[in-house]
Amino acid sequence: MKAFIVDRYQSNGPLRLEEMPEPEVREQDVLVAVHAAGVNPLDAKIRDGEFKLILPYRLPLILGNDVAGVVVRVGAKVRRFKPGDEVYARPDQGRIGTFAELIAMDEADVALKPRNLSMTEAASIPLVGLTAWQVLVERAKLKTGQKVLIHAGSGGVGTFAIQLAKHLGATVATTTSTENVGLVRSLGADVVVDYKNEDYTKVLRGYDVVLNSLGKDTLEQSLRVLKPGGKLISISGPPDVEFAKHSGLSWPLQQVMRLLSFDIRRKAKRQGVGYSFVFMQANGEQLSKITALIESGAVRQIVDKVFPFSATNDAMDYLARGRAKGKVVVKMVG
């Protein structure tokens, strides 16, 4: 099968289109013919080697973390899916590889595709949808009446998280650029801070939760908008000890994570708030709940641009410019 692979870790290095063996199908696996694959900042970080300490992949590696497609074969113990089912998923982090014609995944990581979405639209959902769910529902336990700040509201995670937070009954603030103010308002943002013209730390106060997807400066500044007992949750790091333990990392690596997060944890504690890092995990059950939200109309997908599979490197380059509104997708079929 054709696949785009990483031969060696290299900043901004191109992926190589290569003929690769078809994936092994284990007893609890579904083999999926890929129709479309979402492109994420995570793909670039893996390619660049940023996660090689905590995600020790064996190279060459097929890249890609979002998929929508059709089941073509199932393992002997699979009960939830059958050939012909239209599905979507974020594969387990140890079994990524959606920039390919086929991918095998554990059935526990897979969900039926929303009936009201095309394959291209569905491929834009799993990683950002699960990230927003695991931050806002699982970690923050966001409740009706609470206030949440979602940074980078026009990005992939931001566009989904705004809608999910509104569905949960929260008051939602977001940061974005001037040209995207209308988009984030249309998704339900109550307070929009145009970072080109305003300082969000001077506008926002008394927030219960901040979802951070940006860099160190924004992470630390976000402490100012939280009320005592609030939660600063970052998906861009630094990783903390709890993440290291949950991921089964060695004791030395746990201490590395402790050091990496020491400064922000200390500053958060000084302000009476909590800091935690979330690295999204594959979860078909949660994805099925997201499917229900999409089919009910509570959440809609935002796709900025679609590239043909042959132009996967162009899709990566486009996303790296940081101007995408919502998601970038590569399309395998049609």
What DSSP character marks residue 100?
A: B
What DSSP character marks residue 325?
A: S
| Ordered DSSP codes for 182-210 | HHHHHTT-SEEEETTT--HHHH--SEEEE
Residue with tokens 């020790």, as numbered in its chain:
56
219 pLDDT exceeds 80? Answer: yes
Cα angle, residue 70 at apex, residues 67 and 71 outer, rounded to 5°: 105
* 6 contacts 59 by C-beta, under 8 angstroms: yes
pLDDT at 260: 85
pLDDT at 311: 98
Structural domains in the chain, CATH included, are 2-124+302-331 (3.90.180.10), 127-277 (3.40.50.720)
pLDDT at 334: 59
pLDDT at 302: 96
333 pLDDT exceeds 80? Answer: no
pLDDT at 241: 84
- What band does 322 get if pLDDT is binned at 50, 70 and 90? confident
62 pLDDT exceeds 80? Answer: yes
What DSSP character marks residue 136?
A: I
CA–CA separation, 211 and 155 (whole Å): 13
CB atoms within 10 A of CB 256: 18
pTM for this entry: 0.96
155 pLDDT exceeds 90? Answer: yes
29 closest CA partner among 85, 84, 98, 108 = 108
| 3-class DSSP assignment, residue 162 | helix
CA–CA separation, 102 and 300 (whole Å): 27
Give me the torsion for CA of 185, 315, 308, 17, rounded to 10°: -150
* 96 contacts 127 by C-beta, under 8 angstroms: no
CB atoms within 10 A of CB 205: 11
- What band does 247 get if pLDDT is binned at 50, 70 and 90? confident
- What band does 323 get if pLDDT is binned at 50, 70 and 90? confident
pLDDT at 73: 98
What DSSP character marks residue 137?
A: I
Q: Average of pLDDT values for 320-334?
A: 90
65 closest CA partner among 35, 96, 44 = 96
CA–CA separation, 36 and 330 (whole Å): 6
Q: Which of 14-28, 181-195, 219-233, 237-251 has the lowest mean pLDDT?
A: 237-251
Mean of the per-residue pLDDT values for the chain?
95
69 pLDDT exceeds 70? Answer: yes
* 119 contacts 333 by C-beta, under 8 angstroms: yes
- What band does 256 get if pLDDT is binned at 50, 70 and 90? confident
pLDDT at 52: 85
161 pLDDT exceeds 70? Answer: yes
CA–CA separation, 150 and 2 (whole Å): 38
pLDDT tens digits along 258-301? 998 999 999 999 999 999 999 999 999 999 999 999 999 999 99
